[in-house]
Structure formats: structure tokens, C-alpha cells
Amino acid sequence: MARVEIAISAFVVAVFAGGCAVDDAVDGPAPTDESEPALDDSLSPDSQSQQPSSPDEGPWPSANCAPYGSDVYTPYAGTGPFPIGPVARYAWRGPATSYPDGDEDFRGYEAALPSNVECGGTRGMRDYLEVTAGCLDAGGTAADPHGTIRGTSDGYYRSFALAFAASDPEHPVKWTDQGVEYRFYYGPGVGTIGNTGFKAFVRYRTEYDLYVASWRLDGVVQIQKKECGTYTVLQRDATYGAPSRGQWHTLRFEAVGKRLQLFLDGKLVMTQTDDTFSSGTAGLRIDSMDGAFIDDWRVYAP
């Protein structure tokens, strides 16, 4: 949707200061990878996601990994089987309604803006997404809504799409072929924690097993695989250049079969092949960008 140019100074007043506490527990950043922030410890033990005890496809999470403890986050909690297939078969929708119908454009909160969507410390507020670090708020106007990011005290934000088959409202879908895209805009609220910038996940199975694409403020663009908690760089361009402050940008990451593709502002910039992970969910991560705007977070059939 069209957007009216937003002045950078608007970020000072646009961050919603709602009543949910921002989670503070994060892992220390590593300088050469996209190290994951930890879950919010304020959640009760019963609400923590547990290791699936009956996976529906192959060894969990990977044939090369030792078993994980219950402290390792996965969006696939409890016992399966979980629906599995491409986004073309299973659209991003909640278990009871069709929202967000493939596109979280924040239209669902227009009656009460600004509004908190969810925080890492209040997971469970929404059944179609899960925020595991920081907070996501809906802001703007009813005619032009957008999301606003609040990171943890150390600057991390992370969230995931949860999709459900119409016949199974209990188990999130494991997407095979999938694409994730979102638009972002950042102003003066730039920190120095971690690898500052914008990321997207595909085939995210656990916090230790995933694909991630990054566009960072130090100019690095890369695609990485994380398996058994260890990152491998699949492709990296250290001189691509940073996204510009005060402008809307688009990050798109696709997984089709063995092919991984990264698009920045509509331009294909990287293509790699890897067959480690065949399914999982999609999500996004933003580091040290408190008050950044996001919009049109889509999970789509590539």
C-alpha cells in the first residue's frame, strides 16, 4: 500500500509505551554470526515451548545434532504430527480466523491504535504469530497503519508466523516451499548491540536449526545456515552497502526445494542451494533498531 513519507523525527513519539514488559534475557552477541537472543525468562514453565516428542519428518531436528533440552525454543511444541506442505497449500492464517490472511499489514488493529500486538514476555496474546524477543506494536493511523519494533534492553527483536490448517487448529504448519517478505524503515534509534540490521528466517525449526538472510548496517549482506547451534555462511557480500536511513526498504527471502534466494528492494542479490532443512516456519529478526517501523510482513507461495 502507498505510504506518506514519514519524517525521521516521528520515531521519537511513535514508539508505543504500552503495558507489556520488554524481555531482557538475551545471549551475548557473536561478531561473525547472527546469534540468537534467548527466550524471555518471565514466562511460566508451562508456557515454554518444548521439544517435539513425535516429529513427523525425519530425525528432529537434524540427524547430525545431539538431543536438545526443553530450553531450546521451537515453534513446534508438544506432540505431532504437524501439517506439512508449501504455503501454496497452507496460507498464513490463525487457527480460528483467516487473519492475517498471508499479510500482516496491521489492518487488524485499526480500531485501537496505538495497540500492542505481542511481546516476548506476553507470548500467547495472538495465535497467528509469536514474538520471542522484544515487542511488536501497531501504530500509525487507521488509514495508514504500520508495525513498530521495541527491542529488548539489549536491542533484540524476533517474531515468527504461525499458520494452521483448517482441519487442525492445534498444530502449527511446517511450511516446505515458502517466501517471507517485509518492509522496514528506521530512524535515529540505532544501537550498537549485535550485528545491527534486518534479518529474515525461512524453514525455522528451532533456535538452533534455521536459514537466515541479513541486510546489516555495516553493509554486509549474507545467507547463513544454523545447524545444531552452529552457523555456516552460505554466501556473503561484505561490501553490498547498508540500507538507507529514513527510507522504506524491502527484504525478501525464499526457499524452494534446495534453492535459497535473497531479494533486497526487489533486486535478486543472492542465490544458494542447500538441502539441510526441508520445512519450518518463517519469521524476522531486527537488531539494535528500537522504534523501527515494519509493514506488509508477508508469507507467500514463491
Sign of CA dihedral 184, 159, 139, 165: positive
Condensed to tens digits (0 to 9), the pLDDT of residues 96-109 reads 999 999 999 999 99
What cell was used for 6? 514519514
- Average the pLDDT over each of 35-44, 88-97, 214-223 and give the range with the smallest value: 35-44
Cα distance between residue 199 and residue 215, in whole Å: 6
Sign of CA dihedral 76, 131, 295, 290: negative
First vs last C-alpha separation in the chain = 20
Of 15 and 126, the structure prediction assigns the larger pLDDT to: 126
Mean pLDDT over residues 224-231, rounded? 96
Mean pLDDT over residues 128-135, rounded? 97
CB 5 within 8 A of CB 146: no
Of 5 and 146, the structure prediction assigns the larger pLDDT to: 146
Which one-letter DSSP state was computed for residue 30? P
Model confidence, pTM: 0.84
Cα distance between residue 231 and residue 20, in whole Å: 32
Do the bridges between strand 145-150 and strand 293-300 make them parallel or antiparallel, or are there none, so unpaired?
A: antiparallel
Condensed to tens digits (0 to 9), the pLDDT of residues 239-271 reads 999 999 999 999 999 999 999 999 999 999 999
pLDDT value for 127: 96
pLDDT value for 37: 64
- Where on the phi/psi map is residue 92: left (φ > 0), alpha (ψ -120 to 50), or beta? beta
DSSP-derived secondary structure for 143-195 = SSEEEEEE--TTSEEEEEE---BTTBSSS--EESSEEEEEEEE--S-B--SSS
Q: Which residue has the cell 516428542?
A: 53
pLDDT value for 9: 40
Task: Determine how many CB atoms are found less than 10 A away from the CB of residue 278.
Answer: 17
Please give the domain boundaries of the chain with CATH numbers for all domains. Answer: 8-300 (2.60.120.560)
Model confidence band, residue 36 (pLDDT cutoffs 50, 70, 90): low
Confidence check: pLDDT of 41 > 70: no
